[in-house]
Structure 1
Amino acid sequence: MNEISQEQTLERDVQLFTALLGEVLREHSRKRVLVIVERLRDGFMQLREQEDPELRDRLMKRIEGLDPQTLSEVIRAFNIYFGLVNTAEELNAHLARMDLISAGERLWIGSFDDTVRGFQEDGVSPENFQSLLEHLVYLPVFTAHPTESKRRTIADTFRRIFLIAQDLHRRRLNEEELEEKLQEILTQIQILWKTDEVRVHKPQVTDEIRQGLHYFRESLFEAVPSVYRFLDKAVRRVYGPNCGIKVPSFIRFGSWIGGDRDGNPFVKPETTELAVRMHAELILEEYLDRIRRLRRMLSHSSALCQPSPDFLDSLDADEDYWIETMGQSQRLFLYEPYRRKLAMMSHRLQANLDRIRARMEGRDHDGLPEGYGRDRDFLADLYLIRDSLIHHGDASAANGPLQDLIRLAESFGFHLVHLDIRQESTRHTQAVTELFARQPGSPYYQAFNEEQRLMALAEAIAHPHPFVIDKATLTAETRETLEVFEVMARMRAEIGDRVFGQYVISMTHAASHVMEAMLLARLAGLLGKDRQGWFCSLQISPLFETIEDLSHIDQVMRTLFDDPTYQALLKASGNQQEVMLGYSDSCKDGGILSASWNLYEAQKKVIALADDRGVACRLFHGRGGTVGRGGGPTHEAILSQPVDTVHGQIKFTEQGEVLSYRYANPETARYELTMGISGLIKASRCLIEPPDEERNDYLGIMDELARYGEEAYRGLVKDTEGFLDYFYECTPLDGIGLLNIGSRPSHRKKADRSLGSIRAIPWVFGWGQSRHTIPAWFSIGQAIERYRANDLERLAKLQRMYEEWPYFRALLSNTQMSLFKAEMRIARQYAQLAEDQEQAARIFDAIEEEHRRTVTQVLNVAGLRVLMEETPDLHRSLARRNIYLDPLNHIQVALLGRYRTEEDEEQREEWLDPLLRSINAIAAGMRNTG
């Protein structure tokens, strides 16, 4: 299918969905809603083509004349339109990929086919490619940061529309069948219209855990095995069926949901315990379902084939379990060995599941039968069946659903995800200070300098009985901090060693912050010294978030690596250090250019330091959904990392709306995982051959640009009088705080309107809603202009950087998208909400001028005529949304004005409903929240 016809097909789907939505509105909405929707859409489309103050005034009067209920329905219509457009785009992108695969040609950049061909064409041997694959770990981490504005119920309905529309494309339908399919889509849109997309209640942490699990149940259990199959096929196709390359299982998932307690008072020790058991419950349910299906399929008779000796031995060894524990007679499946084995496996898994559920419900589980002791025992049984099938010539039967189950078991174990625990460093300092203070004759820990603290902590960790503790006498905060480590120890014993990932310490400013957490873990028995020497089952990931923290990352890590106690503990835990980099706070702190470059430099420093100390180091990227929080396409993001810093492993957060866009549909999840993994494979080439040297002249230019960028950003955000007032008054932040999209508060401290108090997510969310999108581009224009200084040679140098350097190219590509999403004409309307209009006008003029400057400079460097010229599909996608975003933003401006000025409390509440809906709808339209 050629590009023109693909675009035509997509437009046809969008028009079909829009027409069906119109039918639903005509039949089921309040009078005039459809007319209002169409008039507003057409009017603002005219304004986009040509400014007309009289028309704008007329449209605003129309909006201001609508009652709250009608406005809510108009907003809901726009919101459903965005959901339908997203569905059409996702479906058509999937169908286009399937057409390419069917054509048998070389596939798109980022596909496994193109990636493996590239390695083979460059002369990479099968042995070297195998070596690279064996080093891989691809680890997305799901978080519950409050940026997801779509309810799961709504997502399920869009999934049904996706599948019905796929039938329209893929199946040959007669007129009657076609009519039925269209009616089915109409029915689903009607259901959407009658389902409230705004949550009535703020979600609890348990709701967020279920939301995270939803992606595994509905999508990833199908997508993950198929990703491995696609990579296997690409390897065999390119290197040959007998090349000897075996693709290991390297996809893992992490989660923060139920483990991230930094700033979230609702995540308690018992929440973490529940999260771990909910994870185990889901994966055991999936294994049970697949084992039962295999039992129906593997009906081989021992009279017609000869299972392997190892398999038959295992059946004999299981005989007691079959008769005594299961209470089965000898006769069931007596001549069907695989069914017999699978029946026992099913019983064991059910026993594991029953125990988990009993613990979740607080029931006694002592009388319940034992299941599998460890997930590796379950895997061993699966391997026995696979190898036995191959033994008697049934490799094809081993390679289908059984192999998919093996891939799932290798990837998910009995824990499903590695749950990271996160806590802020001051909580550990407070707990340690209190524990020292309770010991007779102990010095005052808070008065120690850093060197003294490290000595005191090392002595306590090595001591057989560091503290005498009466937990009842401790403050509630310290007691809870200790209980988290106790839960970790208990859950590791209950579920398995791999149930937790890292213990992340946010706001890590010193090496003692890491050692304090180590001491607290020592008290729970997670680490220490016994007769065999040091043991450690806790891995700590210090998180460096601010520009200042990033600048002294090497100092903190050097102190840790050189500390004998930490060295010993690190070695005992596998000698791998993970370091987390925070994109969000660094960007809020110093602007996109400075944050991006400081993160780049920090990675190089810490990897070089770890290499020097003989420590394996994995970087954990705390990326958000938006460019202003480190977001952007995963493939390009991985390739833009500093040379020789991605050593086969990548770990990054997947937040909020990104989860639903990447993982709600298995087709899209498979594509996103493929693009990320192929980026990891390419970026890890340094493992098998020397990497290219980085160009010092490019690094020097970036140093200069980052310095100029930070000055420009801080000049606006920190040095401009009234700037924070502008932010609070000219964005819908008051509404965002009331929107039920996450369990975490939007501010670290209530009633504190400082830059330090507001979280990075609502900071980015607010600017995005009001179409400023400042965090993602402000300062880039000034930095480039100042560096160039009308010197054509310097421009040529920047243009070469854009062509040759993936980091710089990704930076400016993401900037283009953010500049395109910014709309200064709309942002000007929000500026009119400010109380001090004179001050707001000055601030807005500075923002508008920098937007104009940044567009000009970025286009010059990229050699383009218009923004996003190199990504026409994305350009068209964003333009398609603007048709309905324009009226929505103007509606939101009117609503903010009404909500803030209405003195009657009851009437004010009436305006809140459409205001919250407008936030939801704009988030859906921009495909970004935080």
Structure 2
Amino acid sequence: MRPLHALGHTADDGLHKLATASASLPTLSAENYEHAVIDLLSQLLCDVARARQPEVERALRGESAHESMSELMHERMNDRTARVVLRRMLQAQGMWFQLLSIAEQSTAMRRRREIEIKGGYDRLPDSFARVIAEVAGAGVPAAEVRHALSHLKVRPVLTAHPTEAKRVTVLESHRRIYRRLMELESPRWTPRERYTLVLALRNDIELLWMSGELRLEKPTVAQEVAWGLHFFGETLFEAVPQLIDKLQSALERCYPGERFDMPRFFQFGSWIGGDRDGNPFVDDSVTRATLHEHRAASLKRYRLRLVELTQMLSITSEALPVPDSFHAALARALTRSGEPGPIASRNPGELFRQHLTCILRRLDATLADTNQASHGSPVPAAYASADDLAADLLVIEQALLATQSQQLARMLVRPLRHEVETFRFSTVQLDLRQNTTVIGETLRALWRATCGTAGEPPASDSPEWKAWLIGELGKPSESEAQRTRRFESLPPDEAQTLQMFRTVLEMRQRVDRHAFGAFILSMTHRASDVLGVYLLAKEAGLFSDSLGTESCTLPVVPLLETIDDLRRAPEILRELLAVPMVRRSIRAQGGVQEVMIGYSDSNKDGGFLASNWELSKAQTKLKRLGDELGVTIAFFHGRGGSVSRGGVPAGRAIAALPAGSVNGRFRVTEQGEVVSFKYANRGTAQYHVELLASSVLEHTLKSEREDALLPKGEFDEAMEALSGASRAAYVKFIEQPGMLAYFQAASPLEELSMLNMGSRPARRFGAKSLEDLRAIPWVFAWAQNRHALTGWYGVGSAIEGFLAVRQERGAELLRRMFDESRVFRLVIDEVEKTLAQVNLVIAREYASLVQDAHIRDTIFSQVEAEYRLTVKMVQAVTGSAGLGTRFPKFSARLLRRAPAIDLISRQQIELLRLYRTAETERQRRAYQVPLLLSINCIASGFGATG
């Protein structure tokens, strides 16, 4: 690295000027602050580019960037220097998008602080303070709030879906830059100190410049596990205790004198290391290693916090006499430690330190047991469970409360206890996932082993198959020896699937009884699919026998993904819940049957409008079914990052869910770039967990009272008509001859597989058709080629057809729905935003990559016509004069990025052409890295991949 003093004029005078200008940051409004921060980051990035690659600085400033990049691609790609410059140009643009995102996150935090300063905490949108204040102001009694809290259970679930294009190294750089901007907001710095901070910020950007943006190898599942745990260490361990305290404070303020028990209502789940659906790299050894990593992460966190607490609680018995109960608890802890004398003599009279030292000793023994988890029995001195550690911390907390040290208890000890109760000894609850095809193959192998015949088992959709499943589930459980013999007779692949269930039994005992969440059965088509999972769980020993009636100890969650399966949801669940063993299992698991609903595949299946309406209908019908049968149906929302895969603003998405469908319970997947956007920085992480939890509580307390969520026959009838017409237009479009050839040629679909974002393959079972293509690359590729049709296609035709039949009465109805129906308003808003991101001029250039002129012209003309129609129809419903004018922040964000995204899109088109027509492998390699960088750039620009 060149020394800073050698960087010339800008490194001295320029940075001093930037440091001087940054002195105004603490006094600026949020809007002006955003402009100032963006300008600061722009200048620093250009300064780095000038020092490292002057040609790149000119491109960043927009000086003949297109011509420069075209020349590099067409004339000089055999020149290594030219290839480096091109890669740097693309990397610099990607960095600029990332810096813009950091500036916008910082501004959002600034805006929230301004609101709180001016209006108070209860005026802050998406906060517990606002929700509880409004509920109390509306006269909702404390008993109703208490009842809602008793059911409150919110769990974001981190998934390893390959939608994160950024490495952990890059995420760490982003966090440093974000924190540096926060420091610059302080007015306390001298000019010299401020210059040093700006200098450090420049260094952070320079280090980001020199960090490899692309993964050179496909990540392993272990690396994905480390990626997920990164966010806990940075922000999430501390965010949840603060969330609990915010809710407690809001309740105390708005319901003075009332007592509220605070359940552990917010926990995290994960699929990373447990999701086997289409991922051959997740096996039993990977799942075991994942669980041990999860356990070690939580234990190391508690140890760090305990050391800090031990250092702080230097209270002497002379200064603060403690109750007899604490003396007795300390005596027991000292005796259990085996070293009562040395511990007491090291901290004479400091009883809290002595007790904390005993806790640390037990925790160290637990850590040692974890590190040698595969050998021998548990260490006797170790904690048997997280409950025991939480109980020890409660002893200290209660002693402080008994001595009138409420604030010490609340601010020092209680947050750690809440961490332990939330994250336990597993950090997250790991879900297992597999699809019906694999489960079915294992069941057929089990049928052969059980029935002892050489014939073929009945068809999976036949009454005979269901009868066999129910018959096997009704038999008393066999001995472990019998089950083991049958397990050993299975073929290797089927044995591995059954081993997944056997691992649950073992690892619950070794890691934590809450180490696993549920088993998710993807592509569930019928009740017998779910019964098959129960049978494998029984075969693995996961059934308990209470009073002679067996029940399953592992929750089984059907995942309904296609529109046809969503429509069959009531039928599937009614049939499933008619099985006594299933009902017993649900009662034993807390009386809740969870159902996962898929946003991605339903969108791929029927388009954006139809997907959203079918999801809404399914929830309404299942909620009614649960009420009828006396079973609580809870929903697990399988959302992705893009709008097409359910990635709409979380607060608005929850508010638009059917009345009564949440009832305090909410699970949602957080995938790829969504995880880093929400949880990479402390302030944004705290905001997003509170947004999620407060929105769930608000829906629970308000939804069945709100007119906007009450069923209206004419609205439902209109949505049904719009959904059907939209789906028909969408399906006709994607199923036409030549679509696969068009999609492969007019987008970087095939090239996406080279971008090593995740361990999982892009296609199930190696198939090569649109049907078997996963929803993520489907959405990703349409976003890259600027069509973005997964978020709007068919909506225009649906509205036009509706108005053609109903005319002015129909137009008036749609306007009323736009004002009064949350689900319709959400759909129209997100369609409008997506339309604003489409660029037909550039989309046509992507289409030029299609060799067959008939296919190219036929399909693109349909895209163009439907786009123009959809813009017209959306504006007719909203009354808006232009796309995006109703969303000034969104439009400003897009406007800042659009010129650079357009430039990179055009470069990507040329790179695709050159890469695909390269005559030698050497030429292909020369184009490969710039091409992948262009994909990264565009994804960063839009803030979403798949």
Does TM, scored on the shorter chain, surpass 0.5?
yes
Give the Cα–Cα distance (whole angstroms) in 1 for the partners of residues 394 and 613 of structure 2.
47
Match of 2:583 among 567, 577, 580: 567
Which residue number in structure 1 is paired with residue 336 of structure 2? 321
Give the Cα–Cα distance (whole angstroms) in 1 for the partners of residues 801 and 704 of structure 2.
41
Give the Cα–Cα distance (whole angstroms) in 2 for the partners of residues 840 and 819 of structure 1.
21
Which stretch shifts more, 822-831 or 148-157? 822-831
Match of 1:894 among 910, 921, 941: 910
The one-letter code sitting in structure 2 at the alignment partner of 1:586 is S
Q: Does 1:698 align with 2:710?
A: no
Q: Does 1:435 align with 2:446?
A: yes
Which residue number in structure 1 is paired with residue 156 of structure 2? 140
Give the Cα–Cα distance (whole angstroms) in 1 for the partners of residues 651 and 850 of structure 2.
41
Give the Cα–Cα distance (whole angstroms) in 2 for the partners of residues 524 and 378 of structure 1.
30
Which residue number in structure 2 is paired with residue 815 of structure 1? 831
Which residue number in structure 2 is paired with residue 339 of structure 1? 353
Q: Give secondary structure in 2 for the equivalent of 1:534.
A: strand
Q: Does 1:111 align with 2:127?
A: yes
Give the share of equivalent positions with the same residue, in percent.
33
Give the Cα–Cα distance (whole angstroms) in 2 for the partners of residues 368 and 374 of structure 1.
13
Which residue number in structure 1 is paired with residue 822 of structure 2? 806
Which residue number in structure 2 is paired with residue 286 of structure 1? 301
Which residue number in structure 2 is paired with residue 21 of structure 1? 45
Alignment of 1:603-682 (within 5 A): 603-682=619-698
Q: Does 1:419 align with 2:430?
A: yes
Match of 1:309 among 295, 305, 324: 324
Which residue number in structure 1 is paired with residue 272 of structure 2? 257
Match of 2:936 among 899, 916, 920: 920
CA drift at 1:534: 2.1
Match of 1:730 among 734, 746, 757: 746
> Are 2:550 and 2:581, in contact at CA under 8 Å, matched by a contact in 1?
no
Match of 1:384 among 373, 395, 405: 395
Which residue number in structure 1 is paired with residue 14 of structure 2? none
Give the Cα–Cα distance (whole angstroms) in 2 for the partners of residues 448 and 923 of structure 1.
41
Give the Cα–Cα distance (whole angstroms) in 1 for the partners of residues 88 and 705 of structure 2.
60
> Are 2:502 and 2:540, in contact at CA under 8 Å, matched by a contact in 1?
yes
CA drift at 1:547: 1.2
Which runs of no fewer than 5 residues in structure 2 stay unpaired? 1-24, 78-82
CA drift at 1:410: 2.1
Give the Cα–Cα distance (whole angstroms) in 1 for the partners of residues 94 and 232 of structure 2.
26
> Are 1:227 and 1:670, in contact at CA under 8 Å, matched by a contact in 2?
yes
Once the two structures are superposed, what CA deviation does each residue of 1:412-440 show, in whole Å capped at 9, x if it has no partner? 11121111100111222211211221235
Match of 1:588 among 597, 604, 614: 604
Which residue number in structure 2 is paired with residue 406 of structure 1? 417
Q: Does 1:459 align with 2:468?
A: no
The one-letter code sitting in structure 1 at the alignment partner of 2:391 is A
The one-letter code sitting in structure 2 at the alignment partner of 1:458 is I
Alignment of 1:731-750 (within 5 A): 731-750=747-766
Match of 1:10 among 25, 34, 37: 34
CA drift at 1:72: 0.8
CA drift at 1:503: 0.3
The one-letter code sitting in structure 2 at the alignment partner of 1:93 is A
Which residue number in structure 1 is paired with residue 174 of structure 2? 158
Give the Cα–Cα distance (whole angstroms) in 1 for the partners of residues 58 and 290 of structure 2.
48
CA drift at 1:323: 2.6
Which residue number in structure 1 is paired with residue 862 of structure 2? 846
CA drift at 1:716: 0.6
> Are 2:911 and 2:930, in contact at CA under 8 Å, matched by a contact in 1?
yes
Which residue number in structure 2 is paired with residue 758 of structure 1? 773
CA drift at 1:367: 8.1
Give the Cα–Cα distance (whole angstroms) in 2 for the partners of residues 757 and 333 of structure 1.
65
Q: Give secondary structure in 2 for the equivalent of 1:928.
A: coil
> Are 1:284 and 1:414, in contact at CA under 8 Å, matched by a contact in 2?
yes
CA drift at 1:141: 0.4
Give the Cα–Cα distance (whole angstroms) in 2 for the partners of residues 456 and 512 of structure 1.
10
Change (3 A) 1:354 1:58: closer
Give the Cα–Cα distance (whole angstroms) in 1 for the partners of residues 739 and 321 of structure 2.
78
Once the two structures are superposed, what CA deviation does each residue of 1:182-211 show, in whole Å capped at 9, x if it has no partner? 111111111111111101111000000110
Change (3 A) 1:856 1:108: farther
Once the two structures are superposed, what CA deviation does each residue of 1:520-545 show, in whole Å capped at 9, x if it has no partner? 11122111536553242111000111
Q: Does 1:126 align with 2:150?
A: no
Alignment of 1:825-840 (within 5 A): 825-840=841-856
TM-score (norm 1): 0.94
> Are 1:647 and 1:687, in contact at CA under 8 Å, matched by a contact in 2?
no
Give the Cα–Cα distance (whole angstroms) in 2 for the partners of residues 357 and 595 of structure 1.
47
> Are 2:436 and 2:529, in contact at CA under 8 Å, matched by a contact in 1?
yes
Which residue number in structure 2 is paired with residue 51 of structure 1? none
Aligned residues: 909
Once the two structures are superposed, what CA deviation does each residue of 1:123-162 show, in whole Å capped at 9, x if it has no partner? 1123322222222111100001000001110111111111
Give the Cα–Cα distance (whole angstroms) in 1 for the partners of residues 570 and 587 of structure 2.
20
Change (3 A) 1:710 1:479: same
> Are 1:522 and 1:528, in contact at CA under 8 Å, matched by a contact in 2?
no
Q: Give secondary structure in 1 for the equivalent of 2:518.
A: strand
Q: Give secondary structure in 2 for the equivalent of 1:149.
A: coil
The one-letter code sitting in structure 1 at the alignment partner of 2:697 is I
Q: Give secondary structure in 2 for the equivalent of 1:438.
A: helix
Once the two structures are superposed, what CA deviation does each residue of 1:883-922 show, in whole Å capped at 9, x if it has no partner? 3111111111110010000111111111001001111111
Q: Does 1:74 align with 2:104?
A: no
CA drift at 1:9: 1.6
Give the Cα–Cα distance (whole angstroms) in 1 for the partners of residues 460 and 100 of structure 2.
60
Which residue number in structure 2 is paired with residue 33 of structure 1? 56
CA drift at 1:641: 0.7
Give the Cα–Cα distance (whole angstroms) in 1 for the partners of residues 177 and 573 of structure 2.
51
TM-score (norm 2): 0.93
Which residue number in structure 2 is paired with residue 54 of structure 1? none
> Are 1:298 and 1:338, in contact at CA under 8 Å, matched by a contact in 2?
yes
Q: Give secondary structure in 2 for the equivalent of 1:606.
A: helix
Which residue number in structure 1 is paired with residue 799 of structure 2? 784
Give the Cα–Cα distance (whole angstroms) in 1 for the partners of residues 878 and 706 of structure 2.
29
The one-letter code sitting in structure 1 at the alignment partner of 2:362 is R
> Are 1:308 and 1:387, in contact at CA under 8 Å, matched by a contact in 2?
no
CA drift at 1:43: 7.0
Give the Cα–Cα distance (whole angstroms) in 1 for the partners of residues 477 and 175 of structure 2.
56
Q: Does 1:768 align with 2:766?
A: no
CA drift at 1:239: 3.5
Q: Does 1:275 align with 2:284?
A: no
Alignment of 1:47-58 (within 5 A): none
> Are 1:323 and 1:330, in contact at CA under 8 Å, matched by a contact in 2?
no
The one-letter code sitting in structure 1 at the alignment partner of 2:532 is E
Give the Cα–Cα distance (whole angstroms) in 2 for the partners of residues 195 and 329 of structure 1.
47
Q: Give secondary structure in 1 for the equivalent of 2:458.
A: helix
CA drift at 1:277: 1.1
Which residue number in structure 2 is paired with residue 396 of structure 1? 407
Give the Cα–Cα distance (whole angstroms) in 1 for the partners of residues 449 and 337 of structure 2.
55
Alignment of 1:350-389 (within 5 A): 350-359=364-373, 362=374, 364-366=375-377, 368-389=379-400
CA drift at 1:840: 0.9
Q: Give secondary structure in 2 for the equivalent of 1:265.
A: coil
Alignment of 1:193-272 (within 5 A): 193-240=209-256, 242-272=257-287
Which stretch shifts more, 800-809 or 888-897? 800-809
The one-letter code sitting in structure 2 at the alignment partner of 1:6 is A
Which stretch shifts more, 793-802 or 664-673? 793-802
Q: Give secondary structure in 2 for the equivalent of 1:619.
A: strand
Change (3 A) 1:665 1:690: closer
Once the two structures are superposed, what CA deviation does each residue of 1:374-423 show, in whole Å capped at 9, x if it has no partner? 21111111111111101011001001121211221221111211111001
Q: Give secondary structure in 2 for the equivalent of 1:213.
A: helix
Give the Cα–Cα distance (whole angstroms) in 2 for the partners of residues 636 and 38 of structure 1.
37
The one-letter code sitting in structure 2 at the alignment partner of 1:459 is G
Which stretch shifts more, 220-229 or 186-195? 220-229
